[in-house]
Amino acid sequence: MSGSEEGLTMGATGEEVEAAVPKASQAPPAPRVEHFTVAERAARGKAARAEVSRASHGNWEPVAQRPDPVDLLEEQAQSRVPELVPIRYGRMLVSPFTFYRGAAYLMASDLSGGPRTGLHTQLCGDAHLSNFGGFAAPDRRLVFSLNDFDETLPGPFEWDVKRLVASFAVAGRDRGFDEKQREAINREVGRSYRENIRTFAAMHNLDLWYSRIDVDDLVADLRGQATAKQLKRVGENVAKSRAKDSIRAFAKLTTIVDGEPRITGDPPLIVPIEDVVGDQVYRLEEFLRNVIRSYRRTLAGDRRKLLERFRYAHAARKVVGVGSVGTRAFICLMLGRDGDDPLFLQFKEAQPSVLEPFVGRSEFASSGQRVVEGQRLTQAASDIMLGWIKAEGVDGVKRDFYIRQLWDSKLSAQVELMEPSGLTMYARVCGAELARAHARAGDGVAIASYLGAGDTFDRALATFAEAYADQNERDYQALQDAVASGRVTSQPGL
């Protein structure tokens, strides 16, 4: 594939790349902040009930002129690497659950026609259960939090909660749980969110800011709830995650060529940079060095100094995720004091959030900055290497990227192995973490006041989740039919 198709190629000098990084003098003036009393904030939440009842969130009916789901997916495909789009469809068609993971745009479109409380916070934008997990905080302790912010944007708090609860309904069906089991799990998500946001709303601001869920504490809590088999599985998963770092990535992803480490190809999932751009590789590598130098400016001073201790060694395009497949993603090998001191960075394209057509454009000109600022605001602890850049390719198209470490003790829940009791416990943790993120980024007092102490909202969301799981299955079938008719192409098994 040519460099012009990839986007992250040459075509901009180091100075031009640096010019794309916002400077302090270019930042918009800070908006005036209103400081309302706790009583006033609570009153706002109660007033919202008169406009949008809590029970109304249980209603789901597609609008009369609902957009065709495949049309929406194809709309997204227009800005993606063409040869990778069939892989995205192949991954989405593994099951209704994997389809749901890639269908954030469809759900955002659907939610835009439903009730809105007007109580906004910084949304994850794609808060399904597989976008929560563990990772190493700067102090190297494992924490549990949201871990995907490609769609983050301010919006109605309930949109995140609905996407999360519906993901449990879809996953419960995937696991073969019956209707009664699924209802209990779905209600647990809403109950956990509602009760925890009341707790976070009562915290002092600094206590809320520093709050986080430590994985070690989670494991300790499980000892009084989980079976011995569940505890063993969790312990093995945690131990495996602790070993996922740049050293492990270096051993798994590289080989030595002429005395220098190079990322090993595994096309089409991993394609070394020289195979992406052919004989233009030397110009591209110089461009990448310029990009890295410019990206440093989005880091705090101490982290810039750390990055400066590493040199560029090699890069490759890497296919990641389900919904993200087709966006431009690269991994970059950096070397420190010697060949045994690697740092793997991931450059991931950031496109406009799927929420923007329905709640308004981001305040940030750069989608990469939108992702980073949203992550820093809501995540319990963020990667020390998190930053962003805008780069212009030879096709003249400027594209936004955010940068982070490739592996940093990433821990993912093994949902495919969970029984009803395990998924219930996981629902409880995800609901609590989403509440923490929303309270930190928005008005937790108003949201807690809106939800109240009763279970009306929990029951409504459980009803919504099952209805939307039905819609998800219809949309999944629509994509299957589109592949069968030749309307779109799917490449399974990758």
pLDDT tens-digit map of 292-351: 888 999 999 999 999 999 999 999 999 989 999 999 999 999 999 988 899 999 999 999
Side-chain-side CA neighbours of residue 98 (13 Å): 17
> Do 119 and 199 belong to one domain?
yes
Give the pLDDT of residue 277. 67
- Counting the structural domains of the chain, the total is 2
The answer to whether residues 389 and 327 belong to one domain is yes
Q: Are residues 447 and 473 in the same domain?
A: yes
Look at residues 405, 431, 453 and tell me which one is the last residue of a structural domain.
405
| Higher pLDDT, residue 281 or 481 | 481
Q: Is the pLDDT of residue 488 over 60?
A: yes
Q: Are residues 470 and 352 in the same domain?
A: no
Do 277 and 378 lie in a common domain? yes
> What range defines the domain where residue 331 resides?
3-26+245-405
Among 405, 439, 464, give the residue marking a domain's end: 405
Q: How far apart are CA 412 and CA 428, in angstroms?
A: 16
**Co-location of 133 and 103 in the same domain:** yes
**Same structural domain, 336 and 374:** yes
Instruction: Evaluate whether residue 493 is within a structural domain.
Output: no
* Percentage with pLDDT > 70 across the chain: 90
- Yes or no: say if 272 and 6 are a contact pair by the CB < 8 Å rule: no
Residues 279 and 362 in one domain: yes
Predicted local distance difference test score (pLDDT) of residue 289: 75
Nearest-angstrom CA–CA distance, 354 and 356: 6
Q: Answer with the one of 364, 383, 405 that is the final residue of a domain.
A: 405
Structural domain includes residue 32: no
Q: What is the pLDDT of residue 325?
A: 95
- What is the pTM assigned to this prediction? 0.92
Digit-coded pLDDT (tens) for 340-353? 899 999 999 999 99
Note the pLDDT tens digit of each residue in 379-399: 999 999 999 998 875 566 789
Q: Is 307 a member of any domain?
A: yes
- Indicate whether 34 belongs to any domain: no
User: Which among 117, 372, 16 is positioned nearest to 362, based on CA atoms?
Assistant: 372
Residue 423 and residue 375 share a domain: no
- Bridge partners (DSSP) listed for residue 144: 134, 213
Residue 450 lies in a domain: yes
Q: Is residue 121 part of a domain?
A: yes
In a domain, 97, yes or no: yes
Residue 21 — left, alpha, or beta (φ > 0 → left; ψ -120 to 50 → alpha)? beta
Which secondary-structure segment (H or E) carries 143?
strand 142-146
Whether 93 and 162 map to the same domain: the answer is: yes
Please report the pLDDT score of residue 274 as a whole number.
83
Q: Say if residue 452 is in the same domain as residue 390.
A: no
Q: Are residues 355 and 479 in the same domain?
A: no
